[in-house]
Chains A and B, each alone.
Chain A
Amino acid sequence: MALVWLILIPFVGGLLCWQGERWGEQSPRWIALGTMLLVLLITLGLWWYGDYRLPPGAEAEAVPWAIEWRAAWIPRFGIEVHLALDGLSLVLVALTGLLGVLAVLCSWHEIGRRVGFFHLNLLWILAGVVGVFLAIDLFLFFFFWEMMLVPMYFLIALWGHSGSTGRTRIGAATKFFIYTQASGLLMLVAILGLVFAHHHATGEYTFSYAALRETPLSDELSTWLMLGFFFAFAVKLPVVPFHGWLPDAHAQAPTAGSVDLAGILLKTAAYGMLRFALPLFPEASQAFAPVAMGLGLVGIFYGALLACGQQDIKRLVAYTSISHMGFVLIGIYAGSELALQGVVVLMVAHAFSTSALFIISGQIHERLHTRDMREMGGLWGRMGSLPGFMLCFVVASLGMPGTVNFVGEFMILFGSFPLVPWVAAIASAGLVLAAIYSLLLMQRVHYGPPQGEGRFADLDRREYAMMLGLLALVLLLGLFPQPLLETSGATMHEVQRLFSDASAFMSSTEPMGDS
């Protein structure tokens, strides 16, 4: 039942925020903050009291869920409200809770109009994301997958920053929505294809993850279905040819929206690949892996190169996301346990560092009223401790040892090297580009000739607390990532087992190296 509460609390909290506007402008903020803290606390409680480590001797069993909750929903098609939690979803739900708190905090002063409705949208996004991480009925998963789009659309369209050409925030929001919705429908088609294949084989309709994993599929069909899933996740991740929505959406969204987008919405895609695309179609995914890793490589370099050329600070951070997600994609499709664990760590790390950078961009914007880096420069020493924090997070983002980003990237490269040495070698060249764009960012914003006189306001206590908390987490997990690894270990082990079984199955036709 705790799982249902995790989804319902932000949902109800959002409605309260909307109505809470009657009692003054501050009340929606406090309600939203309380709601997200409650979600975070429940998740941490589950983490503390649950056991998510690798159960011994569970090799042949189905995925052991730590907590499960199910109820009939649409019996006609065997659709259930089926929620389940394991290590992977726990980590991501906790991340959602944390970033939810940050998103509320960072919009404390930024959002001045229609505060209640803003927080309604914000909390509903988070409810949808938590739902995505918990749903293991495919229909329910799709339901939440699509549901989180509408409030995100409103968040960008109504509270976003217009670009130079007037109406672009609405354009950006529409683009985001159409990209993800259309690709989502393809996933729905793939889900239905899988369900009907299962119906054909067994004579019963079901959308249950466990049952559908056992569906016997022909090679051709499973390739097509896998592509349907992959396409939806690739748009959301984003993988390079499908990334068109991301820079605009990130740049035009309000800070809270960017934090949510980069921090958790992108993670839903990686989660979807780990949870659904790989385990449902291991053979097809194994066959597709070279293409996916190639796309990942393209993403790493494309994102990094374009990041170097950006003038808008938020666009720059957005493009670095594309680059980082390239690593995630390689890690997922390399499929060794080390690389998969690295994916989880990098997802968490990316959520921390990127949302911190977006929050800092928001803070600079509040002070300078611009995001254009040509109008910045020489800010070091004029903004109190903000440049110092920015340096820390930029360094984290480029993967400096000691930060959690380093652990993630290192594990991915290390884990994929024995399987695909060339991919790992080329990908590590991307780290050089990461250093270049990171230093460019620091140089243009904080060094160089100052563009004006005078000092800007120092960070207030709220901003200071956000930064310090994130920094502590980046360093803490960077130095001691073991709790994270232990929690997600069992799930990743299961994914790796399925994937390598498929690889063993295929190695009869083509050698794929040792695993």
Chain B
Amino acid sequence: MTLTMTHLMALLPLIVVCATAITVMLGIAWRRHHGGTAAVTVIGIVLTLAMLLPIWTMAPVEVPLLVVDGLALFAGAMILISSLTCAALAYVYLDNYPGPREEFYLLLLCAAAGGMVLAASRHLATLFVGLELLSMPLYGMLAYAFSERRSLEAGIKYFILSAAATAFLLFGMALLYAQVGRLDLPAVAAVLGERPTAWGLAGIGLLLVGLGFKLSIVPFHLWTPDVYEGAPGPAATFLASASKVAVFVVLLRLVLSTPAFQDDWLRGVLAVLALAGMLVGNLLALVQSNLKRLLGYSSIAHFGYLLVALVVGDGLATETSGVYLLTYLVTTLGAFGVVTLLSSSYSGEDTAALHHYRGLFWRRPYLTAVLTVSLLSLAGIPFTAGFIGKFYIIALGVEAERWWLVGGIIVGSAIGLYYYLRVMVTLYLVEPGMRRRDAPRDWGGRAGGVVVLGLALLVVMLGVYPAPMIEWVRLVEHITVR
């Protein structure tokens, strides 16, 4: 198969991101300049985002190993938006960092490219390459403040556990290859669809373990709170948003295209994992006193909810996943954005202990408003995007008559409220002699401030008028290759 102009056009976003990465690298080699590097990164990402629009009209395009369809473009857009946010946050965060600052953007761009490859993969080889291209730079980003013990710990922890997960993934691929004899997903799906043997199911199960690790689905979630807590703000933001979106999208693609996932046994396993995620995530979040850890556990719970979409697997499932991912992404970016902005650029650990946030409202009303909106959205309260996501998940559960899962969502949300409210009320309490740790005074005018304020507005807007988002997600579903 030769590459035509159409194929090149479809791959252009990926190429531009990679080109930007190379430009940044060469720029660093030539002369270090923090502002310049950040600007190049942002321009590259914005250019790519703009490029997605014309490609939207020609999707779906199948390229060898990759497919540029609705799902891939959807995930691509979300990954790019997260990367853009992370770049803006990193610019504020790294401003006073004594070590080299520019490489962060290089890692960020590489990871973004990896995520895009992963989301577009239709071949086990690209799936693997994409996943590794996403993860490798992340190790570096997580351990970026390596003189800080916790950051280094986070990086190494994620690296080692990730390597183990990759081993599972590869083993699963090997089993599938032994069964099917091919590596492209349609062929795998077709062969498994006829008669999923024990080896085939085992392969799929191991694949699920590998991907489940990245999504911190319950039995594989142990790394999440530690890594979230230790990682520098922008890196944690990327890990919580772009990385999860990319991996979930590829999992969704696997589930949708592989009839073996319709198997009752596998569905049962997924349902148990979903329930466990909701309960474990929410229950463990109750006892946290560190906002980043708490957000880590909350993300475990949220991916528990999201798994419901994979359990159901038809009907509204794709639409629900799309809407939920989008609302979750915007919300998480907002919450992590505020934490990152509050963490002074270089003075040891990030500001994440809850007592740092006491009475924040009376010092930083707008920043607190952003955090409040994000927390409300995570809790799924109306007027925020999170409510629309939760509405979709519950609707899906009710439609498929999965009453256990619906019950789990309700119980999980009720427990979840407790800790979200605890954080929220802390923001507004005043006590004499409280410790102060503030964002820089002019945070509103800086890149990061504008971004988080925009995100909060977006959260409210999507919550109040979700119709365009729903239309868009339905369009995505329409041009997705099954």
A residues with a Cβ closer than 8 A to B are 72-77, 114, 142-144, 146-147, 149-150, 153-154, 157-158, 170, 173-174, 177-178, 181-182, 185-186, 188-189, 192-193, 196
The digit string for B462-482, where 1 denotes a CB below 8 A from any CB of A, is 000111001100100000000
Q: List 10 A-B contacts (CB under 8 A).
A: A72-B467, A76-B467, A147-B382, A153-B425, A154-B425, A173-B421, A174-B418, A185-B409, A185-B410, A192-B399
Contacts of A158 in B (CB 8 A): 425, 428-429
Known: A146-B382, A150-B376. A185 touches B398 (CB 8 A): no
User: In the complex, which residues 411-470 of chain B have their Cβ closer than 8 Å to any Cβ of chain A?
Assistant: 411, 413-414, 417-418, 421-422, 425, 428-429, 465-467, 470
Closest to B470 in A: A76
Nearest CB in chain B: distance from A172 CB, A: 12
Closest to B376 in A: A150
B394 within 8 A of partner (CB): yes
Please determine whether B474 and A76 come into contact, CB atoms closer than 8 angstroms. yes
Please determine whether B425 and A178 come into contact, CB atoms closer than 8 angstroms. no
Closest to B466 in A: A74
Nearest CB in chain A: distance from B446 CB, A: 23
Please determine whether B467 and A192 come into contact, CB atoms closer than 8 angstroms. no
B177 within 8 A of partner (CB): no
Please determine whether B413 and A196 come into contact, CB atoms closer than 8 angstroms. no
Closest to A169 in B: B425
Nearest CB in chain A: distance from B470 CB, A: 5
Task: Tell me the complex Cα distance, A177–B429, Å.
Answer: 18
Please determine whether A189 and B417 come into contact, CB atoms closer than 8 angstroms. no
Please determine whether A146 and B381 come into contact, CB atoms closer than 8 angstroms. yes
Contacts of A185 in B (CB 8 A): 394, 409-410, 413-414
Contacts of B56 in A (CB 8 A): none
B171 within 8 A of partner (CB): no
Contacts of B406 in A (CB 8 A): 189
Task: Tell me the complex Cα distance, A46–B220, Å.
Answer: 60
Please determine whether A73 and B391 come into contact, CB atoms closer than 8 angstroms. no
Contacts of B470 in A (CB 8 A): 74, 76
Please determine whether A192 and B417 come into contact, CB atoms closer than 8 angstroms. no
Name the contact of B428 in the complex, choosing from A143, A154, A189 (C-beta under 8 A).
A154
Closest to B414 in A: A182
Contacts of B362 in A (CB 8 A): 114
Task: Tell me the complex Cα distance, A149–B421, Å.
Answer: 12
| 6 shortest interchain CB distances as A-B pairs | A182-B414, A192-B398, A143-B382, A185-B410, A146-B382, A76-B470
Nearest CB in chain B: distance from A384 CB, A: 35
Please determine whether B410 and A178 come into contact, CB atoms closer than 8 angstroms. no
Please determine whether A192 and B376 come into contact, CB atoms closer than 8 angstroms. no
Contacts of A173 in B (CB 8 A): 421, 425
Please determine whether B383 and A188 come into contact, CB atoms closer than 8 angstroms. no
Nearest CB in chain B: distance from A134 CB, A: 16
- The bracket for how many chain B residues form the interface is 20 to 34
Known: A157-B425, A181-B413, A188-B394. A150 touches B418 (CB 8 A): no
B395 within 8 A of partner (CB): yes
Contacts of A186 in B (CB 8 A): 410
Known: A74-B470, A196-B399. A177 touches B417 (CB 8 A): yes
Task: Tell me the complex Cα distance, A299–B382, Å.
Answer: 31
Contacts of A149 in B (CB 8 A): 381
Task: Tell me the complex Cα distance, A173–B381, Å.
Answer: 16
Please determine whether B398 and A193 come into contact, CB atoms closer than 8 angstroms. yes
Task: Tell me the complex Cα distance, A157–B406, Å.
Answer: 30
Contacts of B466 in A (CB 8 A): 74
User: Contacts A75-B467, A143-B387 given; 7 further ones with Cβ under 8 A?
Assistant: A77-B395, A143-B382, A147-B383, A150-B381, A177-B421, A185-B409, A196-B399
User: In the complex, which residues 68-119 of chain B have their Cβ closer than 8 Å to any Cβ of chain A?
Assistant: none
Nearest CB in chain A: distance from B210 CB, A: 34
Nearest CB in chain B: distance from A318 CB, A: 22
Contacts of B376 in A (CB 8 A): 150
Nearest CB in chain B: distance from A179 CB, A: 9
Nearest CB in chain A: distance from B393 CB, A: 11
Closest to A186 in B: B410
Task: Tell me the complex Cα distance, A114–B430, Å.
Answer: 11
Nearest CB in chain A: distance from B89 CB, A: 27
Task: Tell me the complex Cα distance, A312–B474, Å.
Answer: 56
Please determine whether B467 and A181 come into contact, CB atoms closer than 8 angstroms. no
Q: Quick one: which of B382, B383, B414, B471 has the most chain A CB within 10 A? A: B382
Task: Tell me the complex Cα distance, A177–B474, Å.
Answer: 34
Contacts of B428 in A (CB 8 A): 154, 157-158
Known: A147-B383, A158-B428, A188-B391. A153 touches B421 (CB 8 A): yes
Please determine whether A174 and B421 come into contact, CB atoms closer than 8 angstroms. yes
Closest to A170 in B: B425
Contacts of B409 in A (CB 8 A): 185
Closest to A205 in B: B395
Nearest CB in chain A: distance from B395 CB, A: 5
Task: Tell me the complex Cα distance, A178–B414, Å.
Answer: 6
Nearest CB in chain B: distance from A509 CB, A: 28
Contacts of A157 in B (CB 8 A): 421, 425, 428
Closest to A196 in B: B399
Known: A76-B474, A158-B425. A178 touches B381 (CB 8 A): no
Task: Tell me the complex Cα distance, A192–B413, Å.
Answer: 17
User: In the complex, which residues 368-391 of chain B have their Cβ closer than 8 Å to any Cβ of chain A?
Assistant: 376, 381-383, 387, 391
Please determine whether A178 and B418 come into contact, CB atoms closer than 8 angstroms. yes
Closest to A114 in B: B362
Nearest CB in chain B: distance from A116 CB, A: 11
Nearest CB in chain A: distance from B31 CB, A: 47
Name the contact of A178 in the complex, choosing from B395, B417, B429 (C-beta under 8 A).
B417
Nearest CB in chain B: distance from A248 CB, A: 15
